[in-house]
A and B are shown apart, each in its own frame.
Chain A
Amino acid sequence: MKYLLQRIAFYLFTAWAAITLNFFIPRLVPGDPVQALIAKFQGQLSTQATQSLYVLFGLDKDKSVWQEYLDYWGQLFHGDLGLSFTFFPTPVSEIISDSLPWTLLLVGITTIISFFLGTGLGVLAGWRRGSWTDGLLPVTTFLSSVPYFWLGIIAIYLLTGPDSFFPSSGGFDNGLVPAFDQYFIPSAIRHSVLPALTILISSVSGWILSMRNMMVTVSSEDYITVAHAKGLSDRRVAMSYAARNALLPNVSGFALSLGFIVGGTLLVEIVFSYPGIGFQLFQALGAQDYPLMQGVFLIITISVLVANLIADVAYLLLDPRTRKEG
């Protein structure tokens, strides 16, 4: 319990750091970015938007930085992330809450599948060293070096087309309205197969590799020799003795690498024009929509923190040593 409380305190601290960072980044922009933006939009910005821009960039002369910082927190607690320029006057929080489920489903499910698949293959590769499984390593090394988005481009190039089963972009067929019915759900699944496969292929290799290395390390422990000596079946030794212990570092690695994975998957969404957070970020970048960018960053960070907390709970359940009271 003490362990969990410590972790929660740490995540709260990290969230505070991320939010503070988010507050200060726009204030680093040299010159007068608001004038540049007004010039860029050529009168399409309303006075209200201009005012909120000045506040965002910290150019509001009437307030001290400290006062602005407090206001920023006040807004956050009301769930107010400002107004988006690109979809003016839609609030950023609304755009994010529309696109978040897409990302959570796509990235969440594929990451979990990738973790279990990779760990399973890694157990095999580590345990049966010297067999065909060694051939997995060069292949996975190559695949893990390929940028996610490029793999997506190749997948679109090779597998989509006018008469292909796979659509090349979007999250569902045009003309359908998002709803839980028999038309929308199959369409959404069909659109998510290719992005999901892309993420799966490029992220699975990392798990294979780390699990293999842990298995190799664990295999030479004394308790494995003892298990063999007791005459236990090979499978039992591999699963209940070696894999069980090799899994622990992989679970905490899972938590730590989520940040990397999420970064990569955002790009897959961009390539496939998948209506998730990453695609919103991309559109925000193109339009220099700072409120939306910052909102997306904040929501990604918070999601990663929550996922980390879940992984910590899993770790707690898997490793009895952390459960010790005191």
Chain B
Amino acid sequence: MTIPTSSIEQVIPGQGSMAQPETGKPAKAKRQRFRFVSNKKAATGLVMLAVYVLLAIIGPWVAPYDPDARSNALIQPPSGDHWLGTTHLGQDVFSQLLIGTRSVMLVGFFAGTIATVLSVLIGVTAGYLGGKTDEGLSALSNVFLVIPALPLIIIITSTLQNAEDWLIALVIGLTSWSWNARVLRAQTLSLRRRDFVDASRATGEKTWRVIVFELMPNLTAVIASGFIGTVIFAVLSEITLAFIGVTSSSTWNWGTILFWAQGQQALAQEAWWWFIPAGLAIALLGTALSLINFGIDEFVSPRLRSAGKTKIKTIDGRTVRMRIGFTPVLSNSPEPHTHATPVLPAATPVVKKEVTS
């Protein structure tokens, strides 16, 4: 069965943005490594992510209370004793949030790793080997792409009953690799006929060596952005599972907090401190990861960078808007636009007025 590949080049909607295979030239020399960090978006995202990782590591030690410990302070608003207030059982919300970070990060990164490994195995193999292998593997990843992942994950986890974190990560990882596999396959297809690949084949390198040492370094950016995308998806899925109460209730994560808040009518009791911090934590983590992904995208295809100052005044006081890739046209120019005037190549914008007057 042949699946038409006309739609390979799309950007993933819904989950941040992915690398764009048709513009992507991920090959970068090593000495330019730090240029990625100098990208403002990527740097912000990395710093935010570092804070989360730190909290995931030290969370259980710095948490002021045992998250399960009950006290007499029931549903108290934030105070000096309880920074983010307490729950219906007098548990400290701040401690729950801190301790929950570890579970969220673990599931996110573990699931991301599984999905990335699978997508590399399937996507790169399919793209490089071609033929019947490609058709089979592409059909497989398309099937997984079209079946709605979240309902599938919900069904499987609820069947497993009280699944632990690692099992949830496994389920998420095994069901969410298909998008990356598709992107990687497309990218490999465009790489496999390049001269350097042909050259290494001609010198008699084994297939696995060509894939690992010739192709993979050129796919780094695509793989990285796919990994980050999957981590976002995994984190949201885990929290969703905890929120609807199908996972083990013995471990804390942000979804568990929301589950109790929803179940105990936090809304009706105006207990905003119970559900707002957890949601913000999720949103900020997602934002951090998306920012890193934008950084990768802009690193790979510089066109996507936000343009800087674009309004320029000409000598006689007219305003011209400069845009990357465009030749600015003065709309209030007295000359009719239908004139066939020489237009310079797009990369070097020239104010048209100089030509016409």
Contact = CB atoms under 8 A, between A and B. Distances in A.
Interface stretch (B66-74, B93-101, B155-163): B155-163
7 contacts: A145-B232, A145-B290, A209-B16, A219-B323, A297-B151, A315-B7, A322-B4
A61 to B, nearest CB: 21
Interface of A: 3, 6-7, 9-11, 13-14, 17-18, 21-22, 25-26, 28-29, 33, 129-131, 134, 137, 141-142, 144-147, 149-150, 153-154, 156-157, 168, 203, 206-207, 209-210, 213-214, 216-217, 219-220, 222, 224-225, 228-234, 248-250, 252-254, 256-264, 266-267, 270-271, 281-282, 285-286, 288, 290, 293-294, 296-297, 300-301, 304-305, 308, 315, 319, 321-322
Contacts of A156: 267
Interface string B284-311: 1111011100100100010110111110
Contacts of B239: 147
A321 B6 contact: yes
Contact of B142 (A10, A213, A228, A294): A10
B229 to A, nearest CB: 11
Among A17, A233, A263, chain B packs the most CB atoms within 10 A around the CB of A263
Contact of A229 (B160, B324, B336, B343): B343
Q: Which of A141, A214, A250 has the most CB of B within 10 A?
A: A141
B275 A6 contact: no
Interface string B333-357: 0001111110101100000000000
B146 interface: yes
Main secondary structure, interface of A, reads helix
Contact of A219 (B150, B286, B326): B326
Given A29-B161, A157-B267, A257-B14, A13 B143 contact: yes
Interface in B1-45: 1-4, 6-7, 9-17, 20, 22-23
A145 B6 contact: no
A231 B338 CA distance: 5
B282 interface: yes
Contact of B287 (A13, A141, A270, A304): A141
Contacts of A233: 337
B236 interface: yes
Across the A-B interface, give the 5 residue pairs with the lowest CB-CB distance, nearest first: A145-B286, A263-B150, A231-B337, A252-B7, A130-B310
Contacts of A308: 146
Contacts of B232: 145
Contacts of B303: 216-217, 220
B263 to A, nearest CB: 10
A162 to B, nearest CB: 11
A297 B152 contact: yes
A166 to B, nearest CB: 13
